[in-house]
Chain A
Amino acid sequence: MSVSELKERHAVATETVNNLRDRLQQRRLQLLDTDVAKYSAAQGRSPVKFGATDLVCCRTLQGHTGKVYSLDWTPERNRIVSASQDGRLIVWNALTSQKTHAIKLPCAWVMTCAFSPNGQTVACGGLDSVCSIFSLSSTADKDGTVPVSRMLSGHRGYVSCCQYVPNEDARLITSSGDQTCVLWDVTTGLKTSVFGGEFQSGHTADVISVSISGSNPNWFISGSCDTTTRLWDTRAASRAVRTFHGHEGDVNTVKFFPDGNRFGTGSDDGTCRLYDIRTGHQLQVYQPHGDGENVPVTSIAFSASGRLLFAGYANNNACYVWDTLLGEIVLDLGELQDSHKNRISCLGMSADGSALCTGSWDSNLKIWAFGGHRRVI
């Protein structure tokens, strides 16, 4: 076949692709007969109302000397690991605020950290393109340097996010600026699967965040600067199971909804969105009202029931609490007493849903919980 014939086939195929995409979009729009807020309002759902002291800051974890970029809870035992611009990982006892470990990192430019399911190791990654694993039972020297147990090398760009597969201490997923996600075998340090990349259909820009389903650990979602979120099956890496469109800016953060069949996203376009993974529907858009320009969403977390969506934004110290059913902001943690003094960069909900931890550019972490009934002195 000659080049000219190929070019003609190319043009025909392009037109076919565009027509099919239009048909797909039209069909999707027909199926979007309502959203969560309209449905819930029609059902007469009562709004969530917070009193002035219902959600309070119960702990302030001080120790970092730079911006906090990432945090993660243990599945149990109430410990938190945090990563900071100061080049350290700190492991905290959330109950007592004590630091149990302060690990000085070989590369200070860390962007993400994660606790293993058994709580015995922590992983981190950043601009060095490597995901480093540290054992918390290793002895640190006087500088706080802990030997690296394993280095997961292979990404060609920064490691933006990492998460252990639930209940599996030997498997971990990373996302990267090289447009791929990788499933690693921590025991061997080798890649098990690569999702996306040069020869596979995947994200077309930096991947910024991942979230693994708690109910089906074979599924995970990734958010990217190509404005899409993709659902992957770890057993079939060649192509994403589904691609979710809608955002108009980088998708900075993704989190599974507690039921495992939905997920939330936060983006540079200033919105959070709720999607259904089985149908691909965009169920709700959470957009703050206001005349100002859209403020990027940096991080999100769902409460245990999914009724509350916590979203950190890139301006000041705002952390809006959204009523996910009615689509309304019910609280701003940034306006509460003892709130952060700078941008909230990361959020994490404890395993039992009773406490939210926030990390901020003010170098602190804070733990928020329900205040209950009290007398104020």
Chain B
Amino acid sequence: MASTSGSVGGEVTGVPPLAKSALPPPRPKSPPEYPDLYGKRREAARVQMLEREIGYLEAKIKFIEGVQPASRCCKEVSDFVVANSDPLIPAQRKSRRHCRFWKWLCCVPCLSLASFCCCCQSECSCHLRKPKCCNCTSCSCIGSKCCDGSCCSNICCCPKPSCPSCSCFRGCCCSCPDLSCCIPTCFRSCSRPSCLNKKKSSCCSCNCKIRWSSCFRCPKVRLCCCFCNCKNLCSNPCCLTF
């Protein structure tokens, strides 16, 4: 084997030269294997829960061995229903029974067309009257009209124009084309809130001062309308569609 000797830039004396192929190439060490305690504990917890569930299920199976069939439960339901009277069910016989309900409800005499009593003939002097479509000129709402033939009441039947010309007036609210969640009032003088959506609807914007300190988690999340946007003031945080 030819020996190589010498060094760059000078002589090296007293140290025998090492052959290049004698040493293995450097190899970094792998980190030591630490036990995955978190994973082990998590797995143990899962097993524990399952074994607990096994215990509950075995108890349930033992319980159900002594359970009566559904037919006996149905009999109990039927017997209970038949044995108990029900004020809302029509009398089976034509003879009149004591209408205890009418003492409860018919104590107010029928004074106006807007109300009527449901009467047993012998109990009450008033009769059922079909409400007539009243003259709504007494309503102070602008543009009010009779609603489906029923009489005007304290709340006027305001028309519901489509957005954007709609403004809240005595609680009447337009319907947003994108969302069905316009609230009638925001904060007193506030007009309709903005309808939250990525694309703006034609509802007006709101200058409400109500501030929410935290986001809401909406019930029955629907794609159209439940999201948390704390920076949007006074808007309906959720379309309560349930």
Question: Which A positions have Cβ atoms within 8 angstroms of B?
Answer: 1-3, 6-7, 9-10, 13-14, 16-17, 20-21, 23-24, 27-28, 31-36, 39-40, 43, 45-46, 48-51, 53-56, 58-60, 62-63, 65-67, 69, 78, 85-86, 95-97, 108-109, 111, 127-128, 157-158, 160, 177, 206, 208, 225, 239, 250, 252, 257-259, 261-262, 274, 276, 279-281, 283, 298, 303-308, 324-325, 337-338, 341, 352-356, 363, 369-377
Alpha-carbon gap, A40 to B102, bound state (A): 32
In the complex, the answer to whether B150 meets A32 with C-beta atoms within 8 Å is no
Alpha-carbon gap, A96 to B238, bound state (A): 35
User: Among B5-13, B138-146, B213-221, which stretch is in contact with chain A?
Assistant: B213-221
Residues of B within 8 Å of A374, CB to CB, are 118-121, 127-128
User: When the two chains form the complex, which single residue of B58, B86, B107, B237 contacts A353, counting CB atoms closer than 8 Å?
Assistant: B86
In the complex, the answer to whether A305 meets B89 with C-beta atoms within 8 Å is yes
Q: Mark B182-221, 1 if CB is under 8 A from A, else 0.
A: 0111000000000000000000000000100000111110
Alpha-carbon gap, A128 to B76, bound state (A): 43
Smallest Cβ distance from A320 to chain B, in angstroms?
14
* B33 touches A (CB below 8 Å): no
Residues of B within 8 Å of A369, CB to CB, are 87-88, 101, 105, 118
Alpha-carbon gap, A239 to B184, bound state (A): 43
Closest B residue, CB atoms, query A353: B87
Interface residues on B, range: 35 or more
Alpha-carbon gap, A32 to B70, bound state (A): 5
Known: A66-B183, A306-B80, A374-B119. A34 touches B70 (CB 8 A): yes
Residues of A within 8 Å of B120, CB to CB, are 372-374
In the complex, the answer to whether A36 meets B78 with C-beta atoms within 8 Å is yes
Alpha-carbon gap, A23 to B160, bound state (A): 58
In the complex, the answer to whether B118 meets A225 with C-beta atoms within 8 Å is no
Alpha-carbon gap, A10 to B53, bound state (A): 12
Known: A65-B184, A262-B77. A58 touches B117 (CB 8 A): yes
- 22 residue pairs A–B, Cβ–Cβ below 8 Å: A3-B39, A13-B50, A17-B50, A20-B57, A39-B74, A49-B90, A60-B153, A63-B155, A85-B183, A85-B184, A86-B183, A109-B237, A158-B218, A177-B217, A274-B77, A280-B64, A305-B85, A306-B80, A352-B104, A354-B88, A371-B118, A372-B99
Closest A residue, CB atoms, query B37: A3
User: When the two chains form the complex, which single residue of B58, B74, B90, B150 contacts A283, counting CB atoms closer than 8 Å?
Assistant: B74
Alpha-carbon gap, A33 to B216, bound state (A): 46
In the complex, the answer to whether B54 meets A20 with C-beta atoms within 8 Å is yes
Residues of B within 8 Å of A371, CB to CB, are 118, 128
Smallest Cβ distance from A197 to chain B, in angstroms?
14
In the complex, the answer to whether A24 meets B88 with C-beta atoms within 8 Å is no
* B93 touches A (CB below 8 Å): no
Alpha-carbon gap, A50 to B23, bound state (A): 102
In the complex, the answer to whether A36 meets B100 with C-beta atoms within 8 Å is no
Closest A residue, CB atoms, query B153: A62
Extra contacts besides A6-B44, A377-B128 (18): CB < 8 Å: A3-B36, A7-B43, A10-B50, A28-B64, A31-B68, A32-B69, A53-B128, A86-B183, A280-B67, A281-B70, A304-B88, A306-B81, A337-B130, A354-B104, A369-B105, A372-B99, A372-B118, A375-B127
In the complex, the answer to whether B127 meets A308 with C-beta atoms within 8 Å is no
* Chain A facing B: main interface SS: loop
* B230 touches A (CB below 8 Å): no
In the complex, the answer to whether B74 meets A376 with C-beta atoms within 8 Å is no
Q: How many A-B residue pairs have CB under 8 A?
A: 260
User: When the two chains form the complex, which single residue of B69, B108, B118, B154 contacts A33, counting CB atoms closer than 8 Å?
Assistant: B69
In the complex, the answer to whether A56 meets B118 with C-beta atoms within 8 Å is yes
Which of A50, A78, A239, A374 has the most C-beta atoms of chain B within 10 angstroms of its own C-beta? A374
User: When the two chains form the complex, which single residue of B64, B81, B87, B118 contacts A58, counting CB atoms closer than 8 Å?
Assistant: B118
Residues of B within 8 Å of A39, CB to CB, are 71, 74-75, 78
A-contacting residues, B48-76, CB 8 Å: 50-51, 53-54, 56-58, 60-61, 64-65, 67-71, 73-76
In the complex, the answer to whether B69 meets A31 with C-beta atoms within 8 Å is yes
Alpha-carbon gap, A27 to B63, bound state (A): 11
In the complex, the answer to whether B81 meets A305 with C-beta atoms within 8 Å is yes
User: When the two chains form the complex, which single residue of A50, A252, A257, A363 contacts B242, counting CB atoms closer than 8 Å?
Assistant: A252
Smallest Cβ distance from A317 to chain B, in angstroms?
12
Closest A residue, CB atoms, query B50: A13
In the complex, the answer to whether B73 meets A279 with C-beta atoms within 8 Å is yes
* B171 touches A (CB below 8 Å): yes
In the complex, the answer to whether B185 meets A17 with C-beta atoms within 8 Å is no
Alpha-carbon gap, A127 to B230, bound state (A): 14
Residues of B within 8 Å of A40, CB to CB, are 74, 78
In the complex, the answer to whether B121 meets A158 with C-beta atoms within 8 Å is no
A-contacting residues, B92-148, CB 8 Å: 92, 96, 99-102, 104-105, 107-108, 115-121, 127-131, 148
In the complex, the answer to whether A283 meets B217 with C-beta atoms within 8 Å is no
Smallest Cβ distance from B187 to chain A, in angstroms?
9
Smallest Cβ distance from B150 to chain A, in angstroms?
7
